[in-house]
Amino acid sequence: MAEMKTAAYICKGCELGARLDTATLVKTATKDGKMNLVREHDFLCSTDGVAMIRNDIDNEGVTHIAICACSRRAKTEAFNFTTVAMSRGNLREGVIWIRPDTDAARETTQEMAEDYVRMACAEVKAMQVPAGNQNTGTSKTLLVVGGGMSGMTAALEASKTGYKVVLIEKTGSLGGMAGKLWKRIPNREPFKAPMDSGVADLAAQIDADANIKVYLNAVIAKTAGAPGRFKVDIAVESGPTVTEDIGAIIQATGFTPYDMNKLPNLGGGQANVVDQLGLEAMAKAANGGPIKRADGKEVKSVVFVQCAGQRDATKEHLEYCSGHCCATSVKQAMYFKDANPDVDTVVLYTDLRMPGNNEDFYRAAQNKGVIFSKGEVSNVSASGNGCTVKFKDLILNEETSADADLVVLATGMVPTTGPDLDQLNEANRAAEGGDEGAKEQVIQMMSKSVLNLDYRQGPDVPQFKHGFNDSHFICFPYETRRTAIYAAGPVRRPMDIAQATEDATGAAMKAIQAMENAGLGKAAHPRSGDLSFPTARLEGCTQCKRCTVECPFGAIDEDERRFPLFNESRCRRCGTCMGACPVRVISFENYSVNTVGAQIKAVDIPDEFSEKPRVLILACENDAYPALDMAGMNHNEYDPFVRVIPVRCLGSVNTIWITDALNSGYDGVMLMGCKHGEQYQCHFVKGSELGRYRMSKIYDTLKGMNLEEERLMDLEVAITDIDTLPKKINDYAARIVEMGMSPFKGL
């Protein structure tokens, strides 16, 4: 790279010029920031201002620029200089908009602005322009695992946009669970009768589609590589193993019904008791005529038991609601009523859940004479030539019973996600220790693997709860914790066909984005388009494996010498590895221990007697920093003694920043990150949790430094905390004042 030439630009627009002494800021950038070139402009983001910067880059050889104007989240289109390293000093949202325009506040406001100028200058000098990931793959073929409703939809949607698809199905035909249905819950007006599932039509479209290559009776033997350059070994029953070049993967492996034999008290395993799938088989056999039991007797009365082994508070069975079963029972009751209106059909439910237009479907069933009783079933037993269902009527509040020729149990969905990685890791550890039982267990668990990923962190996507795969449920539902591997359908959460179809379409779109990004060496969400990626100075590495273990996305493998082996295309650029590294050898070109460390050191720390404390805020750029920005836009004022540095994730916070800050005289450090735990909101899933875990270790260090624990404050921030956040900052600043100034100033 050519010689570094630095430039700082101070904007005077948006009242910055009126509220701040910009001439002094220019001096600060020149003297303290030691920038080669410093310019003021009345309106920096105007065509004229941008042209000025562009001219400096093109003709003056400027390579590093610090733009001291508005927040880094604002005016990104104007300040879009991809060929130089760039930092942003947040003088608008971060300073003048959160401070009152009074004479009394002028001095501290100016100090705040000067610090942000120093920080921007210090940061940019530690940065480099990301060169981009050279290790890209350009395969644009999508692999869809599972040939059910979700899988077929995903394959067709991707094909329609012009992408090649490889579709793998474990069984001998396409269709999956939907293929086993007689009819499906209606998805269009008037929502009054079961309708054709459409599976045959989808399968025919796939057969006719030249873009889609189908492997039946096939499973994945091994998935190696990274987004854009996966090598997938496909084992076809009684055939050779085929290797395909794959860009991205959609896992649409669906579900299996919960085993009703685990519900003996509800009649599971008895004659004349079936689960919903069992009834579908009967209805298919009846082909629109009267439905007959296995013994050939025509069914004249049927009882549907909802939530069989679901929503189980004892946790013995499934704890969750599978969402589709109420409507499915309604549909199945209609099979009987449509064939013969005199069949008694009773649905016993505790809460009937009819999402979407299914409410109309429910009404139609009532109209057809299906009886719905709110009751809790305690026992199903054989009696006479049928069953007796004992239940508590919840409206009449009495124990009662009903007789029926046939009982249908609405058992729930169990996702097909492969082994739980935590359990597998544990078994692996025990097996390495020589435990024979554990070795067996590992083999057994590995046999359930779906993707057989050749990743250091395990063969499948990590699971969250109840075996469903982990994803950011609200913001990025199709993402898994493996880049360019997307989940669609009931493998992600319980759902019906209508939702699975929608899911498959969304996942196909995300997978296409991921393939394209991987080809360009860019990150997938949430830092989509980011060209930086982590690198390690291996000569300093102690092979502690923290980065390879902690990466929430399984991006880092280990080489034969147990050094970390980064797979840039799998990386989401959260920096959790950088925060984890105890010897600080991992860094990004534009985000490193140095870029943040330099900013921390650049802040001017007034002496003990100044009554001007300094509080460092490390704010997550996903939620906390936008919340602070929006607080600024709303002119919610907060304390002038805080200095905010955005971080990619709390997981990227290296403890050295905190100890350095406290050592150099900051009076307090505040961490702002997303919620962690079961209801996590972290955009990198585990980042905020890991970050917080590490911070909990710092308290010992604080004790060693003879500092109060309250000097480090951890705050969970949501993007909506626009009004409460300033108050929390002020409260903390007040507590710092109460505690007194740090004894480390001026040392």
**The two structure tokens encoding residue 452:** 């057989």
Residue 338 beta carbon to other proteins: minimum distance, rounded to whole angstroms: 16
Residue 67 beta carbon to other proteins: minimum distance, rounded to whole angstroms: 58
400 binds other proteins (CB under 8 A): yes
Residues in 324-383 that interact with other proteins by CB under 8 A: 352, 362-363, 366-367, 369, 371-374
Residue 366 beta carbon to other proteins: minimum distance, rounded to whole angstroms: 5
Residue 358 beta carbon to other proteins: minimum distance, rounded to whole angstroms: 13
| Between 352 and 633, CB nearer to other proteins | 352
Residues in 519-538 that interact with other proteins by CB under 8 A: none
**The two structure tokens encoding residue 499:** 């939702």
Residue 405 beta carbon to other proteins: minimum distance, rounded to whole angstroms: 16
Residues near 102 by beta carbon (within 8 Å), at least 6 away in sequence: none
Taken in order 204, 205, 208, 209, is the CA torsion positive or negative? Answer: negative
Q: Which residue matches tokens 């870029």?
A: 595
Looking at 17-25, 243-251, 391-399, 414-422, which segment touches other proteins (CB under 8 A)?
391-399
| Between 312 and 403, CB nearer to other proteins | 403
Distance CA 336, CA 553 (A): 49
Distance CA 620, CA 149 (A): 39
Residue 374 beta carbon to other proteins: minimum distance, rounded to whole angstroms: 5
Residue 373 beta carbon to other proteins: minimum distance, rounded to whole angstroms: 7
Question: How much of the chain is helix, strand and coil, in % rounded to 5?
Answer: 35, 20, 45
Among 261, 301, 525, 286, which Cα is nearest to 406's? 301
Among 504, 417, 491, 414, which Cα is nearest to 461's? 417
| Between 391 and 553, CB nearer to other proteins | 391
| Between 294 and 396, CB nearer to other proteins | 396
| Between 306 and 595, CB nearer to other proteins | 306
Residue 133 beta carbon to other proteins: minimum distance, rounded to whole angstroms: 57
| Between 226 and 327, CB nearer to other proteins | 327
**The two structure tokens encoding residue 409:** 């149990």
Residue 323 beta carbon to other proteins: minimum distance, rounded to whole angstroms: 19
- 3-state secondary structure string, 187-207? CCCCCCCCECCCHHHHHHHHH
CB 252 within 8 Å of CB 504: yes
208 binds other proteins (CB under 8 A): no
Residues in 707-726 that interact with other proteins by CB under 8 A: none
Residue 394 beta carbon to other proteins: minimum distance, rounded to whole angstroms: 9
Distance CA 410, CA 276 (A): 6
Residue 397 beta carbon to other proteins: minimum distance, rounded to whole angstroms: 9
Sort strands 406-409 and 301-305 into parallel, antiparallel or unpaired: parallel
Distance CA 218, CA 145 (A): 10
| Between 383 and 696, CB nearer to other proteins | 383
* Among positions 51, 131, 294, 396, the unique one binding other proteins when judged by CB under 8 A: 396
Distance CA 683, CA 719 (A): 12
Site string for other proteins, 157-186 (x = CB under 8 A): ------------------------------
Q: How far is CA 709 from CA 365, 654, 697, 744, in A?
A: 63, 18, 11, 15
Strand partners, 647: 620
SS3 274: strand
| Between 1 and 395, CB nearer to other proteins | 395
Among 35, 131, 47, which Cα is nearest to 89's? 35
Q: Which residue matches tokens 């600024």?
A: 632
Distance CA 260, CA 264 (A): 8
| Between 271 and 396, CB nearer to other proteins | 396
| Between 249 and 334, CB nearer to other proteins | 334
- Quick one: which H or E segment has residue 276? helix 276-286
Distance CA 585, CA 256 (A): 46
Strand partners, 131: none
CB 466 within 8 Å of CB 318: yes
CB 363 within 8 Å of CB 372: no
Residues near 434 by beta carbon (within 8 Å), at least 6 away in sequence: none
584 binds other proteins (CB under 8 A): no
Residue 165 φ/ψ region, left for φ over 0, alpha for ψ in the -120 to 50 degree band, beta for the rest: beta
| Between 123 and 405, CB nearer to other proteins | 405
Sort strands 218-224 and 230-236 into parallel, antiparallel or unpaired: antiparallel
| Between 393 and 714, CB nearer to other proteins | 393
Residue 370 beta carbon to other proteins: minimum distance, rounded to whole angstroms: 8
Residue 302 beta carbon to other proteins: minimum distance, rounded to whole angstroms: 16
| Between 367 and 696, CB nearer to other proteins | 367
Looking at 388-396, 506-514, 611-619, 625-633, which segment touches other proteins (CB under 8 A)?
388-396
Contacts with other proteins by CB under 8 A: the residue count is 14
Residue 356 beta carbon to other proteins: minimum distance, rounded to whole angstroms: 16
- Residue environment code for 454-465, b if the CB has 16+ CB neighbours within 10 A, otherwise e: ebbbbbbbbbbe
Strand partners, 671: 618, 714
| Between 335 and 362, CB nearer to other proteins | 362
Looking at 166-174, 393-401, 657-665, 707-715, which segment touches other proteins (CB under 8 A)?
393-401
| Between 335 and 349, CB nearer to other proteins | 349
Residue 331 beta carbon to other proteins: minimum distance, rounded to whole angstroms: 17
Looking at 376-384, 389-397, 585-593, 620-628, which segment touches other proteins (CB under 8 A)?
389-397
Residues near other proteins, by CB under 8 A: 352, 362-363, 366-367, 369, 371-374, 393, 395-396, 400
